[in-house]
Chains A and B, each alone.
Chain A
Amino acid sequence: MTSLVEFSAVSKSYGGIPALTDVSLTIEAGAVHAILGENGAGKSTLMKLLAGVITPNGGTIKVDGIERQFATPRDATALGIVCMFQELSLMPHLTVRDNLLLGDGGPMLRLIGGAAVKAVRASLDSVGGSHIGLSALVSELPLADRQLVEIAKAIHRRPRLLILDEATAALTAERVETVFAVIRKLRDEGCAILFISHRMYEIDAVADRVSVFRNGRHVETFAAGTRNRDEMIGLMVGQPLTELFPPRVAAPAKGVVPLLSGRGLSWERGLDGVNFDVRPGEIIGLGGLDGQGQQYLMHAVFGVLKGVQGTLTLDGKPLGGVTPRRAKAPGVDIALVPEDRKTEGLILDMSIGQNLSLAALSRKPYGLTNAAGPADAAIARLTERLEIKLKSLDDPVKTLSGGNQQKVVLAKWLALSPRCLLLMDPTRGIDVRTKAQIYRLLQELAGEGLAIILQSTDYEELIHLCHRIYVFYRGRVVREMSGDEVTPDALIAAALNAHSNTAST
């Protein structure tokens, strides 16, 4: 095997915050190289460097033994490096055909002939996408098909190094197998594949070598199969799982009336008759493959979606016409920590203080910012309780680390003393220490009687934090698990086997 790409002492930081530190790594042709790490471990930074989206602050990258600097994705593709970013590489208003054609790097002005279209069809068929029409608009495809198109588009380029970022997150077991067959075939033809995933069983199935990343550093590289799962998780997290997760608070008694319930919640683009209950003091989890409706349920409860059918009940009374404004109003008291901290949770250019008080502004007396509102004291208390590390409240919130930023989002909402807290992937891209803090906080809050709904892409999180878990598939809850039923294998099986379950019924 020959080394195709060589990283030596590569570093990258954003505004002083390191994302990748002193990374040396060799990627070999003809092998599937898995990159393993938690969210925020530096996996995506590594990929973006290879794809030419960003440039390193230090260190060198060699391709075929020659030092290279690529400033744009064009430079990277010219070297045969093709990246399949989740949700990022397709043009939604274009047809499948046009998306694949535009990626092939053919001449700009010549008219496209039948041979080019045939090649597109062949690439799509090879990844198991023969059911997808070439003239379909990408925006109208289901998520799983879109992912197949993304893989086909990457392969259509005939890469020497193919980078797959969570490429199979929304695919069911049998489709994953098809894609893996393609990956193995490419490998046998001499292509290098960088496979980024946090699903252990996928790495077991396809990887030849595994590199573990943690906190922006390359921890270790080893041949696949030489470590068991627990050892790999230990490397990823940096400490045994038992220390990361605090003991669960006791679940509320069976007789406790739910604070918030949903019955038959449907939404035309992704919810199909979802029922749920959450009691005070209970943490429920929403799991399943990516994008199966978990996020939509959160948005439906917080009033972000329009045209949701079904009923929401709060304190036993129907709750209708929800908007975020009504959801946070006194008496309803629902809070949402949104998925994307940087664009939805915070206003990055505004100060820490302004971000902390943003949700509580509406409760200021007389609409004056100087007037002391009831939430101000709570904000001060929460800043201490959450140990938010800041120099001055007047600094822009973007100067904080990811973990502290997320604490600001949490404090902003907790200041309103909500009764129900909706959390969308709250620990994405956060260091382990802060993660542990947030986990402890959630248990404390549940102990204080808060009803918590946690949506997460991290199975361990769901398993160790939640009292009950709803597993989603295609907008439906296909399984509800609690107590001893909840194990990693059972959860994965529920998420994947959902497909065959629904097919057989």
Chain B
Amino acid sequence: MSAPSSSTADSGRKASWGVDRSVVILLIASIVVLAGAALESPGVLSVNYLLQQLQIASIVGILATGAMLVILLGQIDLSVPLTITGTAILATSLAGSGNPTLAFIAIPAGLAGGLLIGAVNGLGVAIFRIPAMVWTLAVNAMLLGITVFYTSGAKPAGAPPPLMVFLARERTLGIPNAFLLWLVVGALVLFMLRRTVFGNYIYALGQSPRALFLAGAPVERIIVGVFALAGLLSSLGGLLLVGYANQAYQGMGDSYLMPVIAAVVLGGTSIFGGSGNYSGTFMGAIFITLLASVLSLMQVPDALRQMVFGAIILAMLLIDRARRAP
């Protein structure tokens, strides 16, 4: 007997033509946003502009991948902002230290930092059973304290690791390297979710932790593992941001929490956990990036942009509820 397919947790969400419904909606929405913006400034339809959006979307997408994994568990990670900032500052100060050994380990150290932060998040949730939103918020506050202390409140010194600059800014055969990296990360996560026992456990845990525990699965380890993986992906996104902006700075992660959650929720992942497709998150990240970019083209202040993301999340959840309750 072949193993049952693992897509059934979200079977109700497939449209009749076999493509995830939210992907189609997001695709249409992206085209509408672009077309609307093109009426104002035709430049948005240039290949260069679009490729640049893809570059930024890749960073948002990698961050959203981590957020999606946590949301699949029915949890949430509010420490994303300072995981980004903290690991970015760590990596730039190592890379800019002038010591070749330290510079060499800048990227591994940054990623390890993310893994560690995620593991701390997961341990609080799995072992102490602290609600994830409270615990990750507290971890975020501690990380803020650490970065403030480390940078003495000033602009952090250091330089971006050259590899991150290459990944975040350069193109290969005309395609942004960041996008290629996102494709690799996405493929790995997709494989994990669809084809591995761990991936099946993630969906099952989001659906019913009680039943999974009684089925003899290592529930605590799964929670810690997912949070650690999410931390790793957040730090990878943070390092890409360092490469993209050529620096790390205090507060660089703050404006990413809402859009990242919005991308995941828009992509059809249930905020209650246990169902969601990676293709949805993928399109969600692209749509959110386009929307943010068009809003900033129209010179909408940042405050208003955050509001838009908040409103999108609410609207999506309300629509989702209307669809589920006949």
Contacts and interface: CB of A to CB of B under 8 A. Distances in A.
Interface in B194-211: 194-201, 203-204, 207-208, 210-211
Interface string B85-105: 000000000000000000000
Contact of B197 (A327, A344, A356, A369): A369
A177 B208 CA distance: 42
A356 B212 CA distance: 12
B11 A354 contact: no
A361 B211 contact: no
A370 B197 contact: no
Contacts of B6: 354, 369
Interface in A360-386: 361-362, 364, 367-372, 376-377, 379-380
B268 interface: no
A350 B197 contact: no
A86 to B, nearest CB: 20
Contacts of B218: 325
Contacts of A402: none
B8 A351 contact: yes
A379 B1 contact: yes
Contacts of B213: 324
A367 B196 contact: yes
Contacts of A323: 216
A394 B5 contact: yes
B195 A349 contact: no
Contacts of A357: 3-4
Nearest to A416: B216
B211 A346 contact: yes
Contacts of B8: 350-351, 353-354, 394, 396
A53 interface: no
B216 A367 contact: no
A368 B2 CA distance: 12
Interface in B206-238: 207-208, 210-218
A274 to B, nearest CB: 21
A336 interface: yes
Nearest to B192: A367
Interface in A299-346: 302, 304, 323-325, 327-329, 336, 338, 343-346
A350 B199 CA distance: 14
Contacts of A336: 214
A253 B99 CA distance: 77
B275 interface: yes
A358 interface: yes
B274 interface: yes
B3 A349 contact: no
Given A345-B211, A358-B204, A351 B217 contact: no
B3 A350 contact: no
A364 B2 contact: no
A324 B214 contact: yes
Interface string B1-25: 1111110110100000000000000
A412 interface: yes
Contact of A344 (B194, B195, B211, B216): B211
Contact of A377 (B1, B4, B197): B1
B11 A362 contact: no
A380 B2 CA distance: 10
Contact of A347 (B195, B196, B197, B211): B211
Given A344-B214, A369-B3, A394 B11 contact: yes
A356 B5 CA distance: 12
A359 interface: yes
Contacts of B200: 354, 361, 369
A370 B6 CA distance: 10
Interface centre among B6, B8, B199, B216 (most CB of A within 10 A): B216
B270 to A, nearest CB: 10
A205 interface: no
A203 B199 CA distance: 52
B217 A344 contact: no
Interface residues of B, number: 32
B216 A328 contact: yes
Interface in B227-263: none
B207 A350 contact: yes
B198 A367 contact: yes
B216 A364 contact: no
A223 interface: no
Contacts of A219: none
A359 to B, nearest CB: 5
Contacts of A380: 1
Contacts of B5: 351, 353, 394
Interface string A63-78: 0000000000000000
Interface in A387-410: 393-394, 396
A349 B216 contact: no
A330 B196 CA distance: 21
A484 B274 CA distance: 51
Interface in B262-284: 274-275
Nearest to B275: A349
Given A327-B216, A361-B217, A369-B196, A347 B4 contact: no
Contacts of B4: 351-354, 356-357, 393-394
A369 B9 CA distance: 15
Contacts of B210: 343-344
B223 to A, nearest CB: 14
B211 A349 contact: no
Nearest to B1: A380
A412 B204 CA distance: 15
Contacts of A359: 215-216
A367 B222 CA distance: 13
A368 B197 contact: yes
A345 B207 CA distance: 13
Contacts of A367: 196-198
B11 A347 contact: no
B1 A362 contact: no
Contact of A350 (B1, B194, B203): B203
Contacts of A350: 8-9, 203-204, 207
A370 B215 contact: no
A367 B195 CA distance: 9
Interface in B111-136: none
A379 B213 CA distance: 20
A185 to B, nearest CB: 42
Nearest to B4: A353
A352 B217 CA distance: 18
Interface of B: 1-6, 8-9, 11, 194-201, 203-204, 207-208, 210-218, 274-275
Which 6 interchain pairs have the tightest Cβ spacing?
Answer: A353-B4, A351-B8, A328-B216, A324-B216, A380-B1, A367-B197
30 contacts: A302-B214, A304-B214, A324-B214, A324-B216, A325-B216, A336-B214, A344-B211, A344-B214, A346-B211, A347-B204, A348-B207, A350-B8, A351-B8, A354-B6, A354-B200, A354-B204, A357-B3, A358-B204, A358-B211, A359-B215, A362-B216, A364-B3, A364-B197, A367-B197, A369-B200, A376-B1, A377-B1, A379-B1, A393-B4, A396-B11
Interface of A: 302, 304, 323-325, 327-329, 336, 338, 343-354, 356-359, 361-362, 364, 367-372, 376-377, 379-380, 393-394, 396, 412
Given A367-B196, A369-B200, A394-B4, 16 more contacts: A324-B214, A343-B208, A345-B211, A350-B203, A350-B207, A351-B11, A353-B5, A354-B204, A364-B3, A369-B194, A370-B2, A370-B3, A372-B3, A377-B1, A380-B1, A396-B8
